[in-house]
Amino acid sequence: MRYLIMLHGKAWSEQSVLSACQFSEAAIAQGHIIDAIFLYQDGVTNALPNLEISSDELNGQSELLKLHKAFGVPLWLCVTAGVKRGIHETHVEHGFKIAGLAEFAERCSIVDKVIQFK
């Protein structure tokens, strides 16, 4: 089974980010494919460079980057949501890629399921 994950949660203290990563790891362990994680709305904050998140808060960015490095899961952020929040292509953490809703829609047509984490 192929999955596309849509993530809305902020990089800090959002259980949805951790849940999306845990789901993705479990799916990969069972032989499924995570085509991409698409960061949307406040989820684009996960791609901000130089985040300083307190040790007592969840760090969504580090969890997403672990997933990307370990399994090659593409991390896309919505260009429109990014621009609305002051995030531009030159202002993203290494490992994240700017994408549009066209790429998201195209990917939706080839995966078996789209799962949203808010």
Predicted confidence (pLDDT) at residue 78 exceeds the cutoff of 90: yes
**DSSP assignment letter at 95:** T
Predicted confidence (pLDDT) at residue 55 exceeds the cutoff of 90: no
Q: What is the mean pLDDT of residues 96-107?
A: 95
pTM of the model: 0.94
* Helix runs in 9-117, H state only: 15-29, 60-71, 79-84, 101-108
In sequence order, the 6+-apart residues with CB closer than 8 A to the CB of 86 are: none
Predicted confidence (pLDDT) at residue 53 exceeds the cutoff of 90: no
Instruction: Work out whether strand 113-117 and strand 96-99 pair parallel, antiparallel, or are unpaired.
Output: unpaired
Domains for the chain: give ranges and CATH numbers: 2-49+57-117 (3.40.1260.10)
pLDDT of residue 91: 85
| Residue in 93, 77, 97 with CA at minimum distance from that of residue 85 | 77
Cα separation, 109 vs 47, in Å, equals 25
pLDDT in tens, 24-42: 999 999 999 999 999 999 9
